[in-house]
Structure 1
Amino acid sequence: MSSSTLLNPTQPVNQQIYRILRRDIVHCLIPPGTPLSEKEVSIRFEVSRQPVREAFIKLAETGLVQIRPQRGTYVNKISVSQVKNGCFVREAIERAVVKRAASMATDEHLYMLEQLLNQQRTAIDRNQMNDFFQLDDEFHQQLALVADCRLAWDTVENIKATMDRVRYMSLDHVTPPEMLLSQHHEIFDALKRHDEHDVDQAMHRHLHEISQSILLIRKEKRDWFSEE
């Protein structure tokens, strides 16, 4: 964590540090139990400790870290109950989103979604899993925009940090990108038909994968998980 990481001077520093640390934790570059030092992070980003402290607070709010007064900040284990609850809430929101989107999708919306699917195909072909992971999120975010409900995605984004760690660990063998892309195409095809029932069922099948994958990932990385 000692090497410098350049930040964009036009964006809030604390938000950038939060996003970078969130990505590092989600991508398993910082495993559970790892202590996070305000001093080391401030050196890494060449900033004062205040924006680092603010980033830590945001990470704690999403469940990724625990701040222990007088003892430090540590990356949390993956909470099984938090993942399950997050899956429940996310599915409820996103199934409502796609049903609404089915009646609102225009040719322009469909074109943008199709472009994202093409980019996902390219990422898979090039074995660029980090890019695919990001494009997966962008596809779901675009669905919320089609439904004219940005708040829906903002809500999902705020609750899915712990879930994302399971998603990332599942990519290479439990929920391979080829399968996820096929499910995205099912959602897209139902949207093109403006079929609320089919798009709802397609989203249900797609998001159900995460609740199944946690069972397999927990067996492989038992020491990474807590039952809380």
Structure 2
Amino acid sequence: MKEELSFQDIAYNRIEQMILRSELKPGERIDKNQLEVDLKLKLAPIRQAIAMLGRVNLINIYAQSGSYVSKINVKSIYQAYTVRKSLEQLVVGRLIPKVTADMISDLKKIINLQRVYIEAQDYDGFFDVDDQFHHYLYTATDNEFIWNWLQEINLQFNRLRYLKVELQMSRWSQLTEEHEAIIRCIENGDAVTAKIAISQHLDSVKKDVASIQSVYPEYFE
């Protein structure tokens, strides 16, 4: 039986999505009364949700002046990129000795889904399946805890994702081809090349930050 979400959870999820999609823009002051109208919720769960979003660095809360959507911290993005790159190279290396035909089949099914979402121009669906691809690498190597730990880091990457869509910078087909290259390396048992492939796949973050920052410098700190 699916657990029913509390009003606080609903407020949290909706405000989080508004921040990730830049409906609430970096640096923008949070208007709790407007959120009360937009979300059709009372102020109490909205305040609680804002406090929780402050703890994951999506909102800055100031006692005197109010709450503001946090700007994107470039140093934090690069540090998060370094951590995730190191972990995913490790995870891919651990997957190769234990990979099965069923695992390869599962990964290829994810690629097929990505192509469906590209064709439909459904970036929400594409992003979900992109996450599913990387998540699978962690679960297949019994590293679910690490994946869950990474989710706060991934919030900052997700902010970049939606800004890329806004700027028509998304490289959907290229990302899918990079996933396919990673799968081929895993299937061939080539750990060295697999680590290089996943490293190059994640390296796009640095270029994305520079490109987005040149258009929206006010969104960064």
**TM more than 0.5:** yes
1:34 alignment partner, SS class: coil
Matched with 1:51 is: 45
Q: Which residue of the other structure, out of 4, 11, 15, is the alignment partner of 1:10?
A: 4
1:104–1:44 distance in 2 versus 1, CA, 3 Å: farther
Pair 1:111 & 2:126 matched = no
Structure 2 residue aligned with 1:151: 145
Deviation larger for 202-211 or 61-70: 61-70
Contiguous gaps of at least 5 residues in structure 1:
1-7
CA–CA separation in structure 2 for the residues paired with 1:58 and 1:104: 39
The DSSP-based 3-state class of the residue aligned with 1:36 is: coil
| 2:13 is aligned with 1:19 | yes
Q: Secondary structure at the match of 1:78?
A: coil
For residues 170-185 of structure 1, the aligned pairs below 5 Å read: 170-171=164-165, 173-185=168-180
Q: In structure 1, what is the equivalent of residue 198 of structure 2?
A: 203
Are the equivalent residues in 2 in contact too, given 1:83–1:163 (CA < 8 A)?
A: yes
Where does residue 213 of structure 1 map in the other structure? 208
Deviation at 1:58, TM superposition (A): 2.8
Which of 102, 119, 123 is residue 129 of structure 1 equivalent to? 123
Matched ranges for 1:53-132 at <5 A: 53-132=47-126
The alignment partner of 2:57 has SS state of coil
Displacement, 1:173? 4.3
RMSD across aligned positions (CA):
2.1
47-56 vs 213-222, which moves further:
47-56
Alpha carbons of structure 1 residues 189 and 76: separation in structure 2 relative to 1, 3 Å: same
Aligned length in residues: 219
Which residue of structure 2 aligns with residue 140 of structure 1? 134
Give CA-to-partner distance per residue, 1:109-144, whole Å, 9 cap, x none. Answer: 222221111110011111112211221111111111
Alignment partner of 1:154: what SS? helix
Could you state the TM-score of these two structures normalised by the residue count of structure 1?
Answer: 0.86
Q: Determine if contact 1:62/1:162 at 8 Å carries over to the other structure.
A: no
Query: Partners of 2:218 and 2:195 in 1: how far apart?
Result: 36
Q: Does 1:223 align with 2:183?
A: no
